[in-house]
Amino acid sequence: MQQANHIEVNQLKWLGYSTDNILPDGGFGAVSARAGVGKTSLLVQIALNSMIRKQPVLHISLDSPVKKINLWYKEMFQLLVQEFKVDQERELWETILPYRFILTLKVDKFSVPRLEERVKDLIGQEIFSPRMIIIDGLPFDEPVKDTLLELKPFIKNLNAHVWFTVRTHRHEQPGPDGFPIQITDVKDLFDTIIQLHPEGEQICIHNLKGGSGEANTAKLVVDPSTMLIKKM
Protein backbone atom coordinates (compact mmCIF):
# COMPACT_ATOMS: atom_id res chain seq x y z
CA MET A 1 0.00 0.00 0.00
CA GLN A 2 1.50 3.31 -1.08
CA GLN A 3 0.28 5.22 1.96
CA ALA A 4 2.24 2.91 4.28
CA ASN A 5 5.50 4.42 3.05
CA HIS A 6 4.64 7.68 4.75
CA ILE A 7 4.76 6.14 8.24
CA GLU A 8 7.55 3.66 7.57
CA VAL A 9 9.77 5.71 9.85
CA ASN A 10 12.18 4.34 12.42
CA GLN A 11 12.68 7.31 14.73
CA LEU A 12 15.36 5.44 16.67
CA LYS A 13 17.63 5.75 13.62
CA TRP A 14 18.59 9.14 15.08
CA LEU A 15 20.39 7.24 17.83
CA GLY A 16 22.75 5.82 15.22
CA TYR A 17 21.05 2.59 14.15
CA SER A 18 21.69 1.81 10.50
CA THR A 19 18.87 -0.68 9.86
CA ASP A 20 15.13 -0.57 10.47
CA ASN A 21 15.28 -3.77 12.53
CA ILE A 22 17.76 -2.08 14.91
CA LEU A 23 18.72 -5.53 16.22
CA PRO A 24 20.59 -8.26 14.30
CA ASP A 25 19.25 -11.80 13.94
CA GLY A 26 19.55 -13.47 17.32
CA GLY A 27 19.95 -10.08 18.98
CA PHE A 28 18.50 -8.91 22.29
CA GLY A 29 17.25 -5.40 23.00
CA ALA A 30 15.86 -3.88 26.18
CA VAL A 31 13.73 -0.86 27.02
CA SER A 32 14.01 0.05 30.69
CA ALA A 33 11.90 2.47 32.71
CA ARG A 34 9.84 2.57 35.84
CA ALA A 35 6.15 1.65 35.69
CA GLY A 36 3.91 3.85 33.56
CA VAL A 37 6.65 5.74 31.72
CA GLY A 38 6.12 4.18 28.29
CA LYS A 39 8.10 0.96 27.78
CA THR A 40 5.30 -0.88 26.02
CA SER A 41 4.22 2.06 23.90
CA LEU A 42 7.76 2.51 22.58
CA LEU A 43 8.04 -1.16 21.70
CA VAL A 44 4.62 -1.08 20.02
CA GLN A 45 5.92 1.72 17.78
CA ILE A 46 8.95 -0.41 16.87
CA ALA A 47 6.59 -3.33 16.26
CA LEU A 48 4.30 -1.28 14.00
CA ASN A 49 7.31 -0.22 11.97
CA SER A 50 8.16 -3.91 11.48
CA MET A 51 4.57 -4.82 10.61
CA ILE A 52 4.41 -2.11 7.96
CA ARG A 53 7.57 -3.61 6.46
CA LYS A 54 5.86 -7.04 6.47
CA GLN A 55 8.09 -8.36 9.27
CA PRO A 56 5.95 -10.61 11.54
CA VAL A 57 5.88 -9.57 15.20
CA LEU A 58 5.07 -11.91 18.08
CA HIS A 59 4.09 -9.92 21.18
CA ILE A 60 4.30 -12.04 24.33
CA SER A 61 2.72 -10.45 27.39
CA LEU A 62 3.38 -11.88 30.83
CA ASP A 63 1.22 -9.43 32.77
CA SER A 64 -1.53 -8.00 30.51
CA PRO A 65 -4.48 -9.61 28.67
CA VAL A 66 -4.71 -9.76 24.88
CA LYS A 67 -7.46 -7.13 24.84
CA LYS A 68 -5.24 -4.55 26.55
CA ILE A 69 -2.26 -5.21 24.27
CA ASN A 70 -4.46 -5.03 21.18
CA LEU A 71 -5.76 -1.66 22.38
CA TRP A 72 -2.18 -0.38 22.68
CA TYR A 73 -1.57 -1.27 19.02
CA LYS A 74 -4.80 0.33 17.81
CA GLU A 75 -4.21 3.55 19.71
CA MET A 76 -0.55 3.88 18.68
CA PHE A 77 -1.43 3.10 15.06
CA GLN A 78 -4.15 5.77 15.03
CA LEU A 79 -1.74 8.33 16.50
CA LEU A 80 0.90 7.49 13.87
CA VAL A 81 -1.67 7.74 11.08
CA GLN A 82 -2.70 11.18 12.34
CA GLU A 83 0.92 12.27 12.80
CA PHE A 84 1.90 11.36 9.24
CA LYS A 85 -1.47 12.32 7.70
CA VAL A 86 -2.05 8.93 6.09
CA ASP A 87 -5.35 8.18 4.33
CA GLN A 88 -7.22 4.87 4.25
CA GLU A 89 -6.52 4.13 7.90
CA ARG A 90 -8.83 1.11 8.09
CA GLU A 91 -7.46 -0.48 4.93
CA LEU A 92 -3.87 -0.05 6.11
CA TRP A 93 -4.68 -1.50 9.55
CA GLU A 94 -6.26 -4.59 7.96
CA THR A 95 -3.22 -4.95 5.71
CA ILE A 96 -0.65 -4.99 8.52
CA LEU A 97 -2.68 -6.85 11.16
CA PRO A 98 -1.76 -10.35 9.85
CA TYR A 99 1.86 -9.52 10.70
CA ARG A 100 1.16 -9.45 14.43
CA PHE A 101 0.31 -12.23 16.86
CA ILE A 102 -0.33 -11.66 20.57
CA LEU A 103 0.43 -14.46 23.02
CA THR A 104 -0.21 -14.28 26.75
CA LEU A 105 1.62 -16.44 29.27
CA LYS A 106 1.50 -16.43 33.07
CA VAL A 107 4.74 -14.97 34.37
CA ASP A 108 5.10 -17.69 37.01
CA LYS A 109 4.74 -20.35 34.33
CA PHE A 110 7.05 -18.77 31.79
CA SER A 111 10.01 -20.84 30.67
CA VAL A 112 12.08 -21.10 27.51
CA PRO A 113 10.95 -24.70 26.76
CA ARG A 114 7.29 -23.62 27.09
CA LEU A 115 7.92 -20.65 24.80
CA GLU A 116 9.74 -22.83 22.26
CA GLU A 117 6.82 -25.27 22.26
CA ARG A 118 4.27 -22.51 21.60
CA VAL A 119 6.33 -20.85 18.87
CA LYS A 120 7.19 -24.12 17.13
CA ASP A 121 3.50 -25.01 17.21
CA LEU A 122 2.59 -21.72 15.53
CA ILE A 123 5.25 -22.26 12.88
CA GLY A 124 4.47 -25.95 12.37
CA GLN A 125 0.80 -25.23 11.73
CA GLU A 126 1.77 -22.39 9.38
CA ILE A 127 -0.10 -19.94 11.60
CA PHE A 128 2.71 -17.52 12.34
CA SER A 129 6.51 -17.33 11.95
CA PRO A 130 7.95 -14.34 13.84
CA ARG A 131 10.96 -12.22 12.91
CA MET A 132 10.56 -9.86 15.85
CA ILE A 133 9.53 -11.00 19.33
CA ILE A 134 8.56 -8.80 22.28
CA ILE A 135 8.68 -10.32 25.77
CA ASP A 136 6.79 -7.85 27.94
CA GLY A 137 6.88 -8.36 31.69
CA LEU A 138 9.82 -10.70 32.36
CA PRO A 139 10.78 -9.93 36.00
CA PHE A 140 14.35 -8.65 35.78
CA ASP A 141 14.30 -8.09 39.55
CA GLU A 142 14.81 -11.85 39.72
CA PRO A 143 17.79 -13.76 38.26
CA VAL A 144 17.23 -14.03 34.49
CA LYS A 145 20.70 -14.80 33.12
CA ASP A 146 20.11 -18.54 32.73
CA THR A 147 16.79 -17.85 30.98
CA LEU A 148 18.43 -15.42 28.53
CA LEU A 149 21.30 -17.80 27.81
CA GLU A 150 18.82 -20.59 27.13
CA LEU A 151 16.73 -18.38 24.87
CA LYS A 152 19.61 -17.04 22.76
CA PRO A 153 20.25 -20.06 20.46
CA PHE A 154 16.53 -20.59 19.85
CA ILE A 155 16.08 -16.99 18.71
CA LYS A 156 19.18 -17.24 16.52
CA ASN A 157 17.82 -20.36 14.84
CA LEU A 158 14.55 -18.53 14.15
CA ASN A 159 16.45 -15.70 12.42
CA ALA A 160 14.52 -13.46 14.78
CA HIS A 161 15.37 -10.87 17.43
CA VAL A 162 13.85 -10.09 20.82
CA TRP A 163 12.94 -6.94 22.71
CA PHE A 164 12.37 -7.03 26.47
CA THR A 165 10.77 -4.54 28.82
CA VAL A 166 12.79 -4.00 32.01
CA ARG A 167 10.94 -2.44 34.92
CA THR A 168 13.02 -0.23 37.19
CA HIS A 169 12.05 1.61 40.39
CA ARG A 170 12.05 5.28 41.33
CA HIS A 171 14.10 4.88 44.51
CA GLU A 172 16.95 2.90 42.91
CA GLN A 173 20.28 4.32 41.86
CA PRO A 174 21.97 2.94 38.72
CA GLY A 175 24.80 0.46 39.07
CA PRO A 176 28.46 1.55 39.03
CA ASP A 177 28.51 1.13 35.24
CA GLY A 178 25.55 3.50 34.78
CA PHE A 179 23.13 0.75 33.78
CA PRO A 180 19.93 -0.01 35.72
CA ILE A 181 20.75 -2.52 38.43
CA GLN A 182 18.21 -4.96 36.97
CA ILE A 183 20.32 -5.37 33.84
CA THR A 184 23.90 -4.85 35.07
CA ASP A 185 24.68 -8.56 35.34
CA VAL A 186 23.27 -9.41 31.90
CA LYS A 187 24.08 -6.29 29.84
CA ASP A 188 26.72 -8.18 27.84
CA LEU A 189 23.94 -10.36 26.39
CA PHE A 190 22.20 -7.32 24.91
CA ASP A 191 22.98 -5.56 21.65
CA THR A 192 20.85 -2.53 22.50
CA ILE A 193 19.68 -1.03 25.80
CA ILE A 194 17.41 2.02 25.80
CA GLN A 195 16.27 3.85 28.92
CA LEU A 196 13.22 6.09 29.28
CA HIS A 197 13.66 8.73 31.96
CA PRO A 198 11.23 11.53 32.92
CA GLU A 199 12.93 14.92 32.96
CA GLY A 200 10.54 17.73 33.82
CA GLU A 201 7.57 17.49 31.45
CA GLN A 202 9.48 15.32 28.98
CA ILE A 203 10.31 11.64 28.81
CA CYS A 204 13.85 11.44 27.48
CA ILE A 205 15.24 8.47 25.54
CA HIS A 206 18.75 7.55 26.63
CA ASN A 207 20.76 5.19 24.45
CA LEU A 208 22.78 3.20 26.98
CA LYS A 209 24.11 0.60 24.55
CA GLY A 210 23.94 0.03 20.80
CA GLY A 211 23.88 2.19 17.72
CA SER A 212 26.48 4.91 17.92
CA GLY A 213 25.73 5.63 21.56
CA GLU A 214 24.77 9.02 22.96
CA ALA A 215 27.62 10.95 21.30
CA ASN A 216 26.85 12.87 18.11
CA THR A 217 23.28 11.66 17.92
CA ALA A 218 19.99 13.51 18.10
CA LYS A 219 18.09 13.96 21.33
CA LEU A 220 14.89 11.93 21.31
CA VAL A 221 11.94 12.20 23.66
CA VAL A 222 8.58 10.54 24.08
CA ASP A 223 5.73 13.04 23.83
CA PRO A 224 3.75 12.50 27.08
CA SER A 225 0.48 13.48 25.37
CA THR A 226 0.73 10.91 22.57
CA MET A 227 3.61 8.64 23.64
CA LEU A 228 5.08 9.04 20.13
CA ILE A 229 8.85 9.26 19.68
CA LYS A 230 9.95 12.79 18.77
CA LYS A 231 13.23 14.32 17.67
CA MET A 232 14.20 17.45 19.59
Average pLDDT over residues 36-46: 91
Q: Distance (Å, rounded) from C-alpha 43 to C-alpha 182?
A: 19
pLDDT of 217 > 60? The answer is no
Average pLDDT over residues 154-169: 96
Mean pLDDT of the chain: 87
pLDDT in tens, 70-125: 999 999 999 888 887 877 888 989 999 999 999 999 888 899 999 999 999 999 99
146 vs 174, more confident:
146
Fold of domain 2-231: Rossmann fold (3.40.50)
DSSP secondary structure letters along 38-62: SHHHHHHHHHHHHHHTT--EEEEES
Q: With cut-offs at 50, 70 and 90, classify the pLDDT of residue 163.
A: very high
Average pLDDT over residues 175-188: 91
136 vs 85, more confident:
136
Q: Distance (Å, rounded) from C-alpha 36 to C-alpha 58?
A: 22
pLDDT of 212 > 90? The answer is no
